[in-house]
Structure 1
Amino acid sequence: MVDHLANTEINSQRIATVENCFGASGQPLAVPGRVLLGEGILTKECRKKPKPRIFFLFNDILVYGSIVINKRKYNSQHIIPLEDVTLETLPDTLQMKNRWMIKTSKKSFVVSAASLTERKEWISHLEECIRHLLTKTGRQPSTEHAAPWIPDKATDICMRCTQTKFSTLTRRHHCRKCGFVVCGDCSKQKFLMPRLSPKPLRVCSLCYRQLMAEEKQEGGDQRQPEQIHSAKPRNSQKSSSFVN
């Protein structure tokens, strides 16, 4: 790691530059001991279609956002604690190459790099930061991860009933438990999953039954029917640069 950079002026300036690029829409990023290790543009697999996103790797967090003007203005800032991150390398598809999944307890998503070398570099730096943090804190690697959302265009029919066809009038929905694309009839229920959100979230019919069964096994069958149900938490041109 590059802990020797933590209290240097150049590191402070680099972090301040990132904060300025996000402006008032972003959170402050400068904290004692934090080091900006690298940055780059990765393609994120979004619900509608893959989109370029700016990523900043710090020694304790991963920050990403939407690009308004590259190196000048970003928005929609997301901050992910690296202690909660697990990585999974994925095979190429026709649409995206050099892919891997960033998995956390709250959100999981797929990204791709411009080249195989760049993917290896990102994964190597991420894994090193995660190992360092877990060793430092004594925590175990995270085992509970949110399911990634399957892109809308991956299917034209509901992935649960396999009967309903999506159209302009028949909307696609996503189950927050499994990430499947489902129709309204197959996702009428909501379930409170505190690890993901303080509010009840839409789930598909199969996941709802599974969550209800798990809750009953844990004593949740004493609830009144009208109460909210709760899931208990379980224990090409190179576009990236990193500090050496």
Structure 2
Amino acid sequence: MVDNLQFTMENRERILAVENSFMPSGKPLLAPGRVLVGEGRLLKLCRRKPQPKVFFLFNDMLVYGRIVVPGRWYSHQHILRLEELEQENLEDGVGMSNQWLLRTPRKSFHISAASLEEKQAWMEHIERCRLERLKQLGFPAVMKPFATTWIPDAASDVCMRCSQAFNVTQRRHHCRHCGFVVCNSCSKARAILKHISSKPVRVCRRCKDSLCEQEVSKGTVRKKDSIEEMPEYEESSDEDQEENHTHNAWFNTYREPEPLYCYFNPKHIKPSQL
């Protein structure tokens, strides 16, 4: 009884410390029944290059953000609900070792750990928390359509649709449906992808034609979207800003008696105390 009370108080302090580290721009994280399971720094593959991000695993969600001051301040908070999350193991790639794929209906991206052991620990704990969350909610392990993983900018010097070379004036864009790197001319079309946004997002011409054919076959053709009109909503590019901090990830497998309620780093230092 005393141990449970002590753990509850320590867990509350940890969550509040994480909440405060995101400053006023972050969403409140403290909630009844929510447990901070672990934290660490991982590399996230962004459009231009891998960038270090801080990740916090809770028993119901995965939170990550941009590192402002290592161990103290973070920004651009993103929340992935575990019931919508799926992981896919990947082989080592060029510039990204110990990597795997995180997929959700709205966002999919590659991340990597500093070592194989850290990668395995992250994947195991995320999967265990995800399954417990699905069981708690009474959901089957059936997922919605996932967001396509964007192909990095550096993967192609030419438009992957028309082969026109990219330069200072001919900038790279991404189709939200197929993830291809395309030019502006090939991605003027807009379409509503319900699993990503309720507003039109950028798609390439080929995907636009394919989506229109699907709507025709389903008898759900809508009024034609203007291909010149930019949508109100576009995915944020804040994550593409460069960071100068080095990668220094950790992930210790410390467990409490109850498997679900564990905290990987028993020597946790609250950000406000650094």
Q: TM-score, normalised by structure 2?
A: 0.80
**Quick one: distance in 2 between partners of 1:96 and 1:83?**
27
**CA distance in structure 1 between the aligned counterparts of 2:20 and 2:102, rounded to whole angstroms:** 26
In 2: Cα distance, 1:185 partner to 1:212 partner? 19
Give the Cα–Cα distance (whole angstroms) in 1 for the partners of residues 31 and 48 of structure 2.
Answer: 35
Task: Give the 3 Å change call, closer, same or farther, for CA 224–34 of structure 1 in structure 2.
Answer: closer
Relative to structure 1, is the Cα distance of residues 46 and 88 closer, same or farther in structure 2, using a 3 angstrom cutoff? same
Aligned to 1:218: 218
Task: Give the AA of the match of 2:88.
Answer: E
Following the alignment from structure 1 to structure 2, what is the Cα–Cα distance between the partners of residues 173 and 124?
A: 34
Contact kept in structure 1, 2:41 and 2:248, CA below 8 Å: no
Which of structure 1's runs of 4+ aligned residues deviate more than 6 A? none
Deviation at residue 71 of structure 1 after TM alignment: 1.4
Residue number in structure 2 paired with 1:72: 72
Between the two structures, name the one with larger relative contact order (CA 8 Å, sep ≥ 6).
2
Q: Which residue number in structure 1 is paired with residue 145 of structure 2?
A: 144
The residue number in structure 1 matching 2:154 is: 153
Give the stretch that moved more between structures: 25-34 or 135-144: 135-144
Q: Output the TM-score relative to the length of structure 1.
A: 0.90
- Equivalent residue, structure 2, for 1:24: 24
List gaps (5 residues or longer) in structure 2: 228-246, 256-274
State the shift of 1:237 in Å: 6.6
The root-mean-square deviation of aligned C-alpha atoms, in Å, is 1.9
- Shifted more, 193-202 versus 66-75: the winner is 193-202
Is 1:179 the counterpart of 2:176? The answer is no
Aligned equivalents of 1:63, 1:241: Cα separation in 2: 18
**Partner in structure 2 of residue 167 of structure 1:** 167
Kindly tell me the number of residue pairs found equivalent between the two proteins: 232
Quote the offset at 1:242 in angstroms: 5.2
Structure 2 Cα separation of the partners of residues 57 and 156 of structure 1 = 37
Aligned 8 A contact 1:39 1:242 in 2: no
Cα distance per residue 1:112-142 (max 9 Å; x no partner): 0000000000000000011111112221231
Q: Could you tell me which residue of structure 2 aligns to residue 232 of structure 1?
A: none
User: What is the letter of the counterpart of residue 239 of structure 1?
Assistant: W
- Structure 1 CA distance, aligned partners of 2:184 and 2:248? 43
Instruction: Find the residue that maps to 2:95 and give its secondary structure.
Output: coil
The Cα of 1:109 is off from its aligned counterpart by: 0.4
Aligned-partner residue type, residue 218 of structure 2: E
